[in-house]
A and B are shown apart, each in its own frame.
Chain A
Amino acid sequence: MAASLSSIGNVRVLSALAWSSSLCSFSGSRGLHVTVSCCKNRAARIRVGKGDKPVTYEQAHHPHHIGHRKGWLSQHTSNLKGEDGAAERTVEDVFIRRFMFGTFHGCLANEIVIKRRGNLLNVCAVMLQKLPPQKFYFLIGYTESLLSHFYKCPVKLEIQTLQDKIVYKYL
């Protein structure tokens, strides 16, 4: 789903924080700072830590960078103005991601990109070279046939393999 947080929400949050902190200082309480549990946005973000956690490009950028520094992971037309079917596509996407995560367990290097072109469902994934190629071929064929029978539309899998995950930075 194409979504980006606007800055208005952040301004509101910051003003609420300032108001709550000023209230506490007026009452003269002994350091009991009551904060709202969801002041900062936590969606799809990996918090900055010690510097030992490897993080990919996709994970390092926050959701408000979608459209600017990031692309879309799921591309279909149902979120455009005047088009319908968004809920069905989202449910399909969630199922496909979980299915791929389970079938190619431990082999996924990055998030799965799902593209829909007419009737065709194109699932693009980047894998690690953990399994021998014969097993990969079998799993690809199995996934394609199972998903096409399930969704009643042609499903194509486009796989690329890498030696190991590409690290963008360490957080």
Chain B
Amino acid sequence: MISPSVRSLKNMASLMVRKRELFSLARILSGVSYLGPASLSVCSGHRKCNITRFHLPLTPSTSFHTTVLTSAAQSAITVTEEPDTLFQKLVVLVKGHDRAVLDSYEFFATMTAKELGISLGKVFEPPKDIERLTLLKSIHIFKKHRVQYEMRTHYRCIELHHITGCTAQVYLEYIQRNLPEGVAMEVTKTAMEKVPDHILEPMWKEIPTDDKPSQ
């Protein structure tokens, strides 16, 4: 026979769980679609429910729920008349200490590009850089006894071809929000510009009369 206080606690716990699930669902279905579900885990957290009225069981819990201020970022879609910049090539170079982390990040970035319909170029791994230091092992003397440290930097290069400015902005923002800690990124963009009108035609075609007096 369950006591009424425990039953009410159980009901409240199930209600709280349902509230949290609804909350996360609402965020996913709202207009923040391009951010993706992965970044929501970074921005949002568990909402602290008002449990002050109930007697919490004093059994120690294994993890602590702390509040995170969830700011509702309204994505404003602006439509402008000016033409979008076109990028011939977008090179994303990621650097890190751990090869496994870079492997998983490369899988994530290539999957994102495929889902968004961006044409992928080369995805390759430049050779790693090792920076070695040879230091004295002891603080005072013993010059013959040294200690060697090394710092390894692994790279991963992802190239995207023929991408518009808006797509590039969205893709890069999504990629950068989900960059793991300890990983740095460098982006190189090669933009395409229209050839200026004054150099489309060669200059000597316009002035034919000047040739005769010089001869």
The total of chain B residues at the interface (CB under 8 A) is 37
In the assembled complex, A162 has its CB within 8 A of some CB on chain B: yes
CB < 8 Å neighbour of A38 from B56, B64, B137, B151:
B137
Which residues does chain B contribute within 8 Å of A67, judged by CB atoms? 97-98, 152
In the assembled complex, A47 has its CB within 8 A of some CB on chain B: no
Q: Which one of A25-33, A72-80, A97-105 is at the interface?
A: A72-80
Asked whether A77 lies within 8 Å of B184 as measured between CB atoms, the reply is: yes
Distance to closest chain A CB from B50 (angstroms): 15
In the assembled complex, A161 has its CB within 8 A of some CB on chain B: yes
- Nearest opposing residue in chain B for A82, CB measure: B95
Cα A13 to Cα B64 with chains together (Å):
48
- Nearest opposing residue in chain A for B139, CB measure: A38
Which residues does chain B contribute within 8 Å of A90, judged by CB atoms? none
Cα A36 to Cα B138 with chains together (Å):
10
The total of chain A residues at the interface (CB under 8 A) is 46
Asked whether A2 lies within 8 Å of B152 as measured between CB atoms, the reply is: yes
Known: A38-B138, A133-B60. A6 touches B98 (CB 8 A): no
In the assembled complex, A12 has its CB within 8 A of some CB on chain B: yes
Q: Give per-residue flags for A35-79: 1 if the beta carbon is below 8 A from chain B beta carbons, else 0.
A: 011110101000000000000000000000001000010011101
Q: Which residues of A contact B (CB under 8 A)?
A: 1-6, 8-9, 12-13, 16, 36-39, 41, 43, 67, 72, 75-77, 79-83, 115-118, 122, 129, 132-133, 136-137, 140-141, 144, 156-157, 159-162
Q: Which residues of B contact A (CB under 8 A)?
A: 42, 56, 58, 60-64, 66, 68, 95-98, 129, 131-132, 134, 137-138, 142, 144-153, 179-184
